[in-house]
Amino acid sequence: MDNEFVNQDLELAVKRTLVHISGSEDTLKPLYLQPDRAIFLAENLHIILKVYLAGKTLQREYDIAQKAASIGVPIPKMLGFEAGPPAVLAMEQVIGQPLSSRNPFAAKEAGKYLQRFHNIGAHPPFSGGQQQWDAFISWWENEEIEKVRRLDVLDPLQISELQEHFDHLQPLLVQRPIVLLHGDLQTAHILVDPQTEKVLAFLDFADVQPGDPLLDIAVVTLWDHALTDFLLEGYSGIANNEETQQLLSLYRLLRHLGEIPWLLERGFNALAARNITALK
């Protein structure tokens, strides 16, 4: 089955869901296309439709989004979920800008909401099957280092230095708190109103998983380190000390490392190059 056929199949599922929830058709603008998933905007109805072949992923996102809304975390209004296959999740479009350090009040508010989301709670096993956070991080870093070694994007000395840095910080991982992570908390997944400095919505809960709360903070500040102080000011309970900064640095390195093969495999070479430069 080729990619074009799969994408047509996904689009047909989206069209069916759109008619079901709105009673009408609309022009669909593709926002993201991959062989197994896609995101469309119904332009006139202002509806976002996510469609995945892996229905369990979207079902989990729908369930977590409802939990987040129930504790006061702002999310888009959910309009419906159809299990498929393919599975389709429909929600109202939220128009805003990605969170930035230019929005300090919104960043503090985002920190407060993130803490509330984390308090939903989670527990091991982690995605690699481990029961201990330090064991999971060790496994994860070795997996990602092996991928970039095969891709030949770092030289042996750089890989050795990276491994030494991870080994040096490993003792900090032993007693970390475990919460429910967003799992992919890019700034684009926190939309704000730049005029009112209010958080409008947290988006995309497809990658929720247990982990150290600092991992979410490392991801959202990956390209905007100035966001860190504002987020931590809103997120009570995390001391903005040297240990916190060391852990954030470790998790940012891991995020850069993990993004490189993911982006290269999907043809996003320019974005991968940006991560390679940042990693070096």
Please tell me whether the peptide bond between 104 and the residue prior to it is cis, using omega within 30 degrees of 0: no
User: 47, 24 in Cβ contact below 8 A?
Assistant: no
pLDDT value at 55 more than 60 = yes
| pLDDT for the residue numbered 213 | 98
Grouping H, G, I as helix, E, B as strand and the rest as coil, residue 115 is helix
> In the prediction, which pLDDT does 9 show?
87
pLDDT tens-place string over residues 197-213:
999 999 999 999 999 99
pTM (2 decimals)? 0.92
Least confident of 97-111, 148-162, 204-218: 148-162
pLDDT at 5: 47
Q: Which residues pair with 82 in a beta bridge?
A: 88
Q: What is the pLDDT of residue 126?
A: 96
pLDDT at residue 7 in the model: 75
Is the predicted pLDDT of residue 1 greater than 50, yes or no? no
Average pLDDT score over residue span 179-200 = 97
pLDDT at 3 over 70: no
pLDDT interval class at 54 (50, 70, 90): confident
Write down the mean pLDDT value for the chain: 93
114 or 33: which leads in pLDDT: 114
pLDDT at 16 over 90: yes
Query: Is pLDDT of 251 > 90?
Result: yes
Give CA–CA dist 116/110, Å, rounded.
10
Q: Which residue has the higher pLDDT, 144 or 5?
A: 144
User: To which H or E segment does residue 97 belong?
Assistant: strand 97-98
pLDDT, tens only, 228-243: 999 999 999 899 999 9
Q: Is the pLDDT of residue 6 over 90?
A: no
Burial 59-86 (b: 16+ CB within 10 A, else e): bebbebbeebeeeebbbbeebbbbebeb
Read off the pLDDT of each residue in 125-147 and give the average, rounded to a whole number. 95
**Coil/strand/helix, residue 179:** strand
Question: Residues 1-10: what's their mean pLDDT?
Answer: 60
